[in-house]
Structure 1
Amino acid sequence: MNKIFFLTAALFLSSHINAQKITGFIIEEKKDKNEVEILFNNKLLTAYCYYDSSRKPVLFPVNTVDGITVTRSYPFKNVPGERTDHPHHTGIWFNYESVNGLDFWNNSTAIEVAKRDHYGTIVHQKIINKKINDKTASLTAAANWIRPDSKVLLNELTTFNFSVSKNDFVIDRITTLTATDTTVIFKDVKDGMLAIRVARELELPSKEKSSYVDDKGNITNVPPSGADVTGMYYGSTGLKGDSVWSSKGNWVMLTGKKDGKEITIGITDHQLNVGYPTYWHARGYGLFAANPLGRKVFSNGKEELNFSLQPGKSVTFRYRIIIHSGNFLTTEEMNKWFTDFGKVK
């Protein structure tokens, strides 16, 4: 009897301890996979990934609190019916199209070897800090923006602050870039800077074929969408749909349905960012980006900003991403998220 009693008690205690361990946030570093997983109640919310193939650190995948993946899986995974364009659109990322003449935005393994000297790479260096609480977690990582000859142009220090509140998974990204011993010029261009590529269901519906041509002459053909494609952009200034592209504003949200749930992805700017309020590079095929440094193409030539950093000088960019499942977020709720984020310095 005593043996049975103690065995039962031990099993109960072990089960109770394990249950306690999976409550709230967990950060699991998996160096063999070049990943740091962010879990909540033992479910994966996202992972900080620094794969060689991505040419930059990314958050991938990105899931709602109830487990619905909102990011496109390609090129890391092949999902039937998903687009296979723009292999450099991976999860949530942060980079820029023209840094001292090098293209960090379009870099991927799809670039021909003979052309790779025109592209820059962001290389993860190390995890600086990890903190967890019940409803919050933070991860700080260091990376280098490097030229093809391995010279470092910028040192990057990024802190991700993660939080969960009911059906909201919130990511605050605070990134500081510091020029090394060379003046760094961010030329005024279209593609940048904080971006997410969303799942097929969250794209904007389109009955027409479309083609997109980047500045390298690469053409992306986009076929008509089906009934399962349900996305819609809303801007803080009242604009909607394709009109959000090239607009300025405090925030933009993308709503749509996936796996039977209403989902909202919101991104907010911050008053302390360079170029505030940012221009929005929001495409119907699922690219959703805030570009604070590109002005000329979005303003039809009325504005231009060629931002530069002198050696040793730093600049900080702050963004909040809200991943919400349930009833679509409202304008009032997004305004509240923006105002609350403004308190973060």
Structure 2
Amino acid sequence: MEILGNGELWAAYVADGEFKPYVWPIIGPTGKPFTREWPMGPGEGEKHDHPHQRSLWFTHGDVNGISFWEEAPGRGKTVHREFVTLEGGAKAVVVTRNDWVAPDGTVLLNDVRKLVFYPLGENRVIDFAIRLTAVADNVTFGDTKEGTFGLRVADSMTVDAKKGGKIVNSEGQEDKDAWGKKAKWVDYSGPVDSEIVGIAVLNHPSSFRFPTYWHVRTYGLFAANPFGWHDFVGRSDVSGAYTLGKGQSIELRYRVILHKGRTAEAKIPQLYEEYAAEPPLPLP
């Protein structure tokens, strides 16, 4: 499904991905894509690594011992079941239901997810909320860094590209020091076609285990992960695993802001405070 703003393509929700739904492309306020093209497109000049990192997605690397993160035989799949809501206009709304299916066909859990696309000043915003509900008797999200709400930024924006890429979080930690840290928000900025732009991801206070840990890498992976404790703190005596009994749920919420300029220019701390003061994005 294409998301349009003023008749221009802003994004597309791809429901029929082989292993999971994802959002691609994602066009920022400069009119350029802010996330990596490959493997959905040829990705000329981009690194062709981590083929499971598809622009913007939601999965986890250990659900009852099964990885839904990688894309390969023997891995789990998040299967689109239905569109609940499709609305255009000033705020485009996409609501879907999905099943998390083990390699043997067993449905472990389902989710309802809501994405709202709209302008905020000169920024473009994607609000994301998801409710995960156990279908099996017990569903455990294992402690692994491979998760969960993820983006892969444009290659030119990455810190490793050495073109001016920068990671900053709400605690003042930067670049590789922001990896594995808890934060209310993280902003990843850098050049796209010679213009400095950024993607900020904000974690709403209503979200499960707020503030979340961040699996944000200098090569371009940008993910919020509330489960990967032992990897992030570097200790084997802690665990972020979490088990849902049949019918039990958790909810997570994020705001993605596509902006021009660096973190301070885009007023990300102020925008976070405004977001945090809003009521949680409701789910059906």
Per the shorter chain, which TM-score range?
Answer: over 0.9
- C-alpha displacement at 1:305, in angstroms? 1.7
Going from structure 1 to structure 2, the CA distance change for 1:183 and 1:101 (only over 3 Å counts) comes to same
2:283 corresponds to 1:318: no
Unaligned runs of 5+ residues in structure 2 are: none
Match of 2:197 among 245, 251, 263: 263
Contact 1:104 1:121 in 2 (8 A): yes
- C-alpha displacement at 1:46, in angstroms? 0.7
1:10-29 maps to which residues of 2 (within 5 A)? none
1:196-250: CA deviation from partner (whole Å, max 9, x where unpaired): 0111101113xxxxxxxxxxxxxxxxxxx4x6x3311001101111111111110
2:204 corresponds to 1:297: no
- C-alpha displacement at 1:141, in angstroms? 0.8
Larger radius of gyration: 1
- C-alpha displacement at 1:318, in angstroms? 0.4
Cα separation, 1, equivalents of 2:81 and 2:265? 39
Partner of 2:52: 88
Contact 2:63 2:140 in 1 (8 A): yes
Q: Secondary structure at the match of 1:159?
A: strand
Cα separation, 2, equivalents of 1:146 and 1:52? 14
Unaligned runs of 5+ residues in structure 1 are: 1-35, 206-224
Cα separation, 2, equivalents of 1:79 and 1:162? 25
How does the TM-score come out when normalised to structure 1? Answer: 0.77
- C-alpha displacement at 1:260, in angstroms? 2.7
Partner of 2:174: 240
Over 4 Å off, 4+ runs: none
- C-alpha displacement at 1:332, in angstroms? 8.3
1:34-69: CA deviation from partner (whole Å, max 9, x where unpaired): xx110101111111102343x100000111133110
2:230 corresponds to 1:230: no
Match of 1:130 among 67, 83, 86: 86
1:115-194 maps to which residues of 2 (within 5 A)? 116-117=73-74, 119-134=75-90, 136-194=91-149
Contact 1:203 1:286 in 2 (8 A): yes
Contact 1:75 1:84 in 2 (8 A): yes
Partner of 1:50: 15
- C-alpha displacement at 1:272, in angstroms? 2.0
Question: Relative contact order, CA 8 A, sep 6+: which one is greater?
Answer: 2
Letter in 2 for 1:324: H
Give the CA RMSD over aligned residues: 1.6
- C-alpha displacement at 1:268, in angstroms? 0.9
Cα separation, 2, equivalents of 1:332 and 1:276? 23
1:278-333: CA deviation from partner (whole Å, max 9, x where unpaired): 111111111011111111111111642211110011111101110112x3231882
Letter in 2 for 1:196: L
Q: Secondary structure at the match of 1:76?
A: coil
- Which structure has more helix as a fraction of its residues? 1
Contact 1:66 1:167 in 2 (8 A): no
Cα separation, 2, equivalents of 1:311 and 1:259? 49
- C-alpha displacement at 1:148, in angstroms? 1.1
How does the TM-score come out when normalised to structure 2? Answer: 0.93
